[in-house]
Structure 1
């Protein structure tokens, strides 16, 4: 994101070439003030300031500003020379953006190493590498679409996504402008071409290309925001129109100077009002960017356009005030520093549940860091003549900074996770020793065993093979995969179906063992965040009713009607947002309806009650407490999602509907002590806060075999 401005003494436009340093007329106090408004909105949203949930639109304000300033620079260069110096353009961006960005990247990695769980370092280092390469938005979109990342805290480097979007845009836009300039010169130029006539045609061509980009990108933004909101939020394809909107204002700047002053003043205040209104009208439930982004984008474009014909009674009257001007000047650094402090600051202060006052203290620290980085790093480097006047030197400096950031990031990615214990636990073999025998004594384990399996830094990947095989379907999929998700004994005469969401999929390792040993085929019908009960639910990621889940369930029931399985194991995470006046009763009624439908098509239906949710990420907790694992042990009463009476009512209801109830809590918790261990023998029980590790579930096969006797089911059907 382009947030900085040149020193106030010279006040050149953003990314202004050296020869233009003496032209202060290009400096816009209204734009400087808009930067302050934008960064203030972003910070307010991130710290949970009163009624400012929509502050994320500050990023959209920056996109429009950047599109206007960069395009204005490029158009002046084309007017002056007839072409664009790509080396000069990228050299200027390297000098202005990279020093502060690399400083924040390295400082964030250092702070994360000291204060965050060691289990997070590899992912954070990968984030840093992708941020340095300006592809972190793509990485965030890809990891954000993975269902099992839902519980992960945001990356301290997540805010670099907006810089990545801008740089991706500016990889193509100067090249496109250069191509338009050269083609225009060949078609309309020549010795006898009139300059004014040639200039108008060239600008018309540029405007036409920008309109096409804006319309195409806006259409994608509208159509994709509801369907695939994470990719729509982070993607260049749905954000390019915002930069193009600013660029179109730059193209029209000369004509905008003719607008009557009173009309410009009215437009500027209206535009500023739209920006401010966006902060309070939009919130996290808004489908964004989509149509909603038009509100802040239009407002910003109006303020900038009105500033081409400034009036003393316009919004500049407010935006040019000293506080706005100074915050606008340091806004780039303020944007870079604030988010790492939001994410790491509470750990630095030793606060588990920070309040607004704590965040305000952290933002004061961010302000100090932004001031220091501006005066000690940003400003001295970007005004240094050897770099300003010689593009090759600036590019070399940028390359050195990027190499440093990448080297440090890759070293951290490959570094083993540090451990503080060499004590080994008794190995669970499944024969001589079982997790069941060790359960009652596991809540008092002190040391995280050195032979823990899976290892803490590998826990996230210890998931059922269903995920690698694509058999836990993504949200947008509604069709049932009836060909590729068969397991167990391929030659088996009997069929077992595992059906539900990720809390159903977690039982696959044990059920697959049983199916293979008993000569049963096993079909996995699982879908991300899709609850089996017949309810309408709100999906946390789609931020709307999860209609894809409802469609998938209907298709799954149709398949089961044709298949007529011998047994079905159904399960679901109980922590869902049900869209009903009485969500608890609707959840129970929905389970009853679904179990009755399953009972009509299957010989046996097993309802696997939900497992535990320890709320805090278990591998992270153990990594921070390697010598006292008992700190991470869960309280059984808090770990069971539903209240005791409500859970019992649900189990009784599904039993009356025809299902055999399997309660896994005795396998996971010490009932007498009321605790839920996280390490049993040398086995890690949880891969995150609420999903069991595949290794642990595999060791539960003997217990599950008693609760779900496939041999008995086979005998009953003869």
Structure 2
């Protein structure tokens, strides 16, 4: 295959260009806002080369040796990938906040088993993780997609070989037909899912496989093209221009992958189709610098992202100087791993077929076991809520009554458990995500309680569930929760990712019916700020829905929105704990609920900000209890500590 051209220096140069785009995008996002398309260039190249290898094997031998193919893939990919994963785990323990260890270890396991893209897809649609910083191994998502392709495509080709023999159809035609179906189906899925759910579409395999299939179709059909020098020169100019234009003109706002990915991928096809082109003395992509980077592109891709995250975790901004230093360190490490790891294991004799498979399995298990031990150790740290309110952990009493706070006491929750200190409804799966409109509820408090209270709203309402659950248990009340991410309990239209959040509107109306059926005597609600909604519209929407509930005999308790911090508490408390605060004047949100309640009967607005902030500052820790799990959600521990003060405010 490959038209008998053997080694393709221009493809190495194309790899160098692609990884350069990715690295520059990650180091200086504003310079190349669409530099992420370098990954799509890699997908096309991989599809082209791998399909070429497999098709050549099939046409030459009439069969595909899975053992031989997988043995070569393991020797090519696993040694460097495993090295970087283990180095990243060590770097995480040294440079990254303890609050991020658990998620990073989880993603290292997912990366080792090449399912990182599915892990990221699952949290990309999780509102709970929407504000989380990227992990040091996030970039393994693209490697996971490629590995999944390497697993599935040879097996599919074996099936095509069998069918072509059975149907007496030429093998090349059968392969083109099969890949065309994969290409078309995946491209349609990519366009549709990118429109419906762009966060998930970016990572899942079915929206990306068409890019690898495109490269496969090229290698199977390129023999039909007989191009002259001028045509090939024109193709390479157009191709490189298309790739660079994508990297320059695209941004985070571009719907991607979807139809937008057609530009960089077909531009890549033009470059590969053009082949090794010369412009006088200028050899286009076959330049020494691009080939040097291209040879090391795999290691460059592996190393650059962990180094960036470690720099950022240390509070180092990505200036021109620090960025150049990052790139230089990346190239140095990549050169070492290329020469001493990639090349060393690629040249291992293949006469004993089982060795690469055994070593590959051992490498994956080593990563999984090492990360698993860390996860086990982290999960042994418990959040002892029984300590809340004791002299060591006075919590809000330190602000409200001046209770003394002892020094040299570990914070509650432990920093390693901060991101997991969430209300029980997240664990119980009855907090609604963005996608679903079907109401789900959690029944909390005292199941035998004679009266019912309800909490309803978005995640800023959800954060009050620990406090309300304790109040309900202590007062023998039933507590029912109806909560949904990014969905205020107000009759307004919410625009999310440029589209109307219709599932929120449907959910809200169904929940309204459910609440009226419950006949609660008190309904608690709160919500985040929704800056895209005009204030008048939000006020009218709140009044509209509150009136329906008060007419049914319920009292509304609207809890004022909580402040917004200008830091991530986990990162800040790990690096500079004495500086983890935001000025109250800068953090205090507008009181939209109070505006809506002015003309409403049987609606009470409760302001708890004095229990979160001092007169001047809003700190990350109050009374040895961490207040914030991220920059705008309370920890479940601090919410629980607020229970007696909230009860006092509402007269329970």
| Shift of residue 233, structure 1, vs aligned partner | 1.4
Q: Tell me the distance in 2 between the aligned counterparts of 1:259 and 1:526.
A: 61
SS in 2 for 1:208: helix
Residue 244, structure 1, aligned to residue 213, structure 2? yes
Residue 476, structure 1, aligned to residue 435, structure 2? yes
- Contact 1:499/1:532 (8 A) holds in 2: yes
Residue 410, structure 1, aligned to residue 366, structure 2? no
Q: Tell me the distance in 2 between the aligned counterparts of 1:31 and 1:464.
A: 51
Equivalent runs, 1:41-80 vs 2, <5 Å: 41-80=21-60
- State the match for 1:3 in structure 2: none
Q: 1:691 aligns with which of 604, 609, 633?
A: 633
Q: Tell me the distance in 1 between the aligned counterparts of 2:393 and 2:143.
A: 54
- State the match for 2:573 in structure 1: 622
Per-residue CA deviation, residues 112-149 of structure 1 (Å, 9 max, x unaligned), is 11111123223222222221111111122223332211
Equivalent runs, 1:320-469 vs 2, <5 Å: 320-347=286-313, 350-382=314-346, 384=347, 386-388=348-350, 390-416=352-378, 427-429=387-389, 435-439=395-399, 447=407, 449-450=409-410, 452-469=411-428
- State the match for 2:564 in structure 1: 613
Per-residue CA deviation, residues 423-458 of structure 1 (Å, 9 max, x unaligned), is x999444799964433368899685624x4432222
- State the match for 2:503 in structure 1: 548
Q: Tell me the distance in 1 between the aligned counterparts of 2:514 and 2:541.
A: 20
Q: Tell me the distance in 1 between the aligned counterparts of 2:627 and 2:218.
A: 58
Residues 370 and 76 of structure 1: is their aligned pair in 2 closer, same or farther, counting only changes over 3 Å?
same
- Contact 1:269/1:314 (8 A) holds in 2: no
Residues 426 and 32 of structure 1: is their aligned pair in 2 closer, same or farther, counting only changes over 3 Å?
closer
Equivalent runs, 1:561-600 vs 2, <5 Å: 565-574=520-529, 576-578=530-532, 591=542, 594-595=545-546, 598-600=549-551
Residue 507, structure 1, aligned to residue 458, structure 2? no
- State the match for 1:271 in structure 2: 239
SS in 1 for 2:525: strand
Q: Tell me the distance in 1 between the aligned counterparts of 2:185 and 2:424.
A: 39
* Range with greater deviation from structure 2 (130-139 or 46-55): 46-55
Residues 311 and 688 of structure 1: is their aligned pair in 2 closer, same or farther, counting only changes over 3 Å?
closer
* Range with greater deviation from structure 2 (55-64 or 119-128): 119-128
Q: Tell me the distance in 2 between the aligned counterparts of 1:121 and 1:667.
A: 30
SS in 2 for 1:606: strand
SS in 2 for 1:271: helix
- Contact 1:566/1:602 (8 A) holds in 2: yes
- State the match for 1:292 in structure 2: 260
- State the match for 1:195 in structure 2: none
The gaps in structure 1 that reach 5 residues or longer are 1-11, 14-22, 189-197, 711-718
**TM-score normalised according to structure 2 size:** 0.90
Residue 654, structure 1, aligned to residue 597, structure 2? yes
SS in 1 for 2:454: strand
| Shift of residue 568, structure 1, vs aligned partner | 2.2
Q: Tell me the distance in 1 between the aligned counterparts of 2:26 and 2:298.
A: 16
Q: Tell me the distance in 2 between the aligned counterparts of 1:44 and 1:694.
A: 39
Q: Tell me the distance in 2 between the aligned counterparts of 1:276 and 1:469.
A: 47
Q: Tell me the distance in 2 between the aligned counterparts of 1:171 and 1:315.
A: 42
Q: Tell me the distance in 1 between the aligned counterparts of 2:250 and 2:501.
A: 21
| Shift of residue 394, structure 1, vs aligned partner | 2.8
Residues 514 and 441 of structure 1: is their aligned pair in 2 closer, same or farther, counting only changes over 3 Å?
closer
SS in 1 for 2:419: helix
- Contact 1:112/1:121 (8 A) holds in 2: yes
- Contact 2:236/2:271 (8 A) holds in 1: yes
Residues 441 and 318 of structure 1: is their aligned pair in 2 closer, same or farther, counting only changes over 3 Å?
farther
- State the match for 2:223 in structure 1: 254
| Shift of residue 229, structure 1, vs aligned partner | 2.5
SS in 2 for 1:351: coil
CA RMSD of aligned residues (A): 3.3
SS in 1 for 2:417: helix
Residue 123, structure 1, aligned to residue 80, structure 2? no
- State the match for 2:609 in structure 1: 665
Q: Tell me the distance in 2 between the aligned counterparts of 1:346 and 1:462.
A: 24
**Aligned pairs, number:** 649
| Shift of residue 166, structure 1, vs aligned partner | 0.5
Q: Tell me the distance in 2 between the aligned counterparts of 1:691 and 1:305.
A: 52
Per-residue CA deviation, residues 645-680 of structure 1 (Å, 9 max, x unaligned), is xx2576345334443211011122233x54435142
Residues 401 and 674 of structure 1: is their aligned pair in 2 closer, same or farther, counting only changes over 3 Å?
closer
Residues 125 and 435 of structure 1: is their aligned pair in 2 closer, same or farther, counting only changes over 3 Å?
closer
Residues 426 and 302 of structure 1: is their aligned pair in 2 closer, same or farther, counting only changes over 3 Å?
closer
The gaps in structure 2 that reach 5 residues or longer are none
| Shift of residue 287, structure 1, vs aligned partner | 2.0
Q: Tell me the distance in 1 between the aligned counterparts of 2:400 and 2:639.
A: 17
- Contact 2:392/2:405 (8 A) holds in 1: no
- Contact 2:560/2:591 (8 A) holds in 1: no
- Contact 2:524/2:556 (8 A) holds in 1: yes
SS in 1 for 2:152: helix
- Contact 2:108/2:367 (8 A) holds in 1: yes
